[in-house]
């Protein structure tokens, strides 16, 4: 795509050299791509720089803060927030370019269905499809939530639904998924602790069992094959550790040992 449109793409990264090239290629139609990195030790920054991105190094302060930092550095009226493991298919790119080229006003943001892939399978159940997310918005009308994890775009004004998808190639390596579970469950526990919530190891165990049953049977993860089973298990494990860690935080706080 030789014609670029006045769109800024905001991406945050850390060690995303394996994902970033395909992500950047899919948004080559954008006039500006902002990459905010937080201490990558691989070739992430070199790849972003070679592709002409505006690259910034910022200390990690949570997903919501990091993405808002990237948005703040965008210079175009329209902003598209994208993760490094996401792609904009050609048909979606064409719709985005048409929206920005016409820019008739009235709509402040757009919501996309997200097609999530796990271990080379499109996951169609467990709430993974259509998994609608707001990602394209007028800069003056949108901002990120302040959540440290499970952040989202908040738009002030009308939001329209689009039928063209964003492709999401979620982490499929089980070893890396375990590392991700440790990170996300810690962030979730800290957020719940700040909100004054409580938990015990027993309630964490119950939540984990119910999460598996809900995902696998009620939300039909059973129809997504071995991938659906694996995701149901990993989601329940994440749920257990989030609330078990919350219980630990409450215990340490009660003893005055929380740093």
Same domain, 163 and 206: no
Same domain, 40 and 57: yes
Answer for the pair 86, 113: CB distance below 8 angstroms, yes or no.
no
Looking at the domain assignment, is residue 93 inside a domain? Answer: yes
Same domain, 50 and 115: yes
Predicted model pTM? 0.94
Sign of the alpha-carbon dihedral angle for 15, 177, 237, 127: positive
Predicted local distance difference test score (pLDDT) of residue 129? 98
Per the structure block, which two tokens stand in for 146?
A: 């302040």
Same domain, 26 and 93: yes
Query: How many Å apart are CA 230 and CA 217, to the nearest integer?
Result: 13
The domain boundary residue, chosen from 140, 169, 198: 169
Query: How many Å apart are CA 3 and CA 155, to the nearest integer?
Result: 28
Query: How many Å apart are CA 197 and CA 180, to the nearest integer?
Result: 23
Predicted local distance difference test score (pLDDT) of residue 104? 76
Same domain, 164 and 106: yes
Question: Each residue of 87-125: b (16+ CB within 10 Å) or e?
Answer: bbeeebbebbbebbeeeeeebbbbbbbbbbbbeeeebeb
Predicted local distance difference test score (pLDDT) of residue 3? 81
The SS3 assignment for 117 reads: strand
β-strands 114-118, 86-87: how paired?
unpaired
pLDDT, block means (10 residues), the chain with 259 residues? 87 98 98 98 98 97 96 98 98 97 90 98 98 98 92 97 98 97 96 96 98 98 98 98 97 87
Per the structure block, which two tokens stand in for 259?
A: 């740093």
The domain boundary residue, chosen from 152, 169, 186: 169
Supply the range of the domain harboring residue 118: 5-169
CATH number at residue 90: 3.90.550.10
3-state helix, strand, coil in the chain (%, to 5): 45, 20, 35
Query: How many Å apart are CA 79 and CA 9, to the nearest integer?
Result: 6
Q: Residue 41 gets which letter from DSSP?
A: -
Same domain, 11 and 71: yes
Map 151-182 to HEC letters.
CCEEECCCEEECCCCEEEECCCCHHHHHHHHH
Q: Residue 220 gets which letter from DSSP?
A: -
Predicted local distance difference test score (pLDDT) of residue 257? 82
Same domain, 145 and 186: no
Same domain, 152 and 182: no
Same domain, 153 and 202: no
Same domain, 51 and 152: yes
Q: How many domains does the chain have?
A: 2
């Amino acid at each position: 795509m030789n014609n670029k449109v006045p769109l800024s793409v905001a991406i945050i990264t850390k060690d995303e050299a394996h994902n970033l090239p395909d992500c950047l290629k899919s948004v080559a139609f954008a006039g500006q791509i902002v990459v905010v990195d937080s201490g990558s030790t691989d070739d992430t920054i070199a790849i972003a720089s070679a592709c002409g991105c505006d690259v910034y190094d910022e200390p990690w302060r949570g997903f919501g803060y990091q993405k808002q930092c990237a948005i703040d550095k965008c210079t175009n009226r329209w902003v598209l927030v994208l993760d490094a493991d996401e792609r904009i298919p050609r048909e979606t790119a064409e719709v985005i370019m048409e929206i920005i080229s016409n820019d008739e006003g009235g709509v402040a943001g757009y919501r996309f269905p997200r097609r999530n892939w796990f271990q080379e399978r499109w996951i169609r159940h467990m709430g993974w499809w259509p998994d609608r997310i707001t990602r394209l918005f007028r800069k003056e009308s949108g901002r990120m939530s302040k959540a440290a994890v499970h952040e989202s775009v908040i738009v002030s004004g009308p939001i329209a639904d689009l039928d063209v998808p964003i492709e999401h190639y979620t982490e499929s390596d089980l070893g890396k998924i375990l590392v991700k579970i440790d990170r996300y469950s810690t962030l979730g526990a800290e957020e719940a602790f700040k909100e004054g919530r409580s938990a015990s190891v027993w309630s964490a165990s119950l939540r984990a069992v119910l999460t598996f049953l809900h995902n696998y049977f009620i939300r039909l993860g059973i129809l997504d094959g071995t991938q659906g089973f694996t995701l149901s298990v990993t989601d329940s494990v994440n749920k257990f550790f989030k609330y078990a860690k919350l219980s630990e935080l409450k215990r340490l706080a009660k003893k005055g040992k929380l740093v």
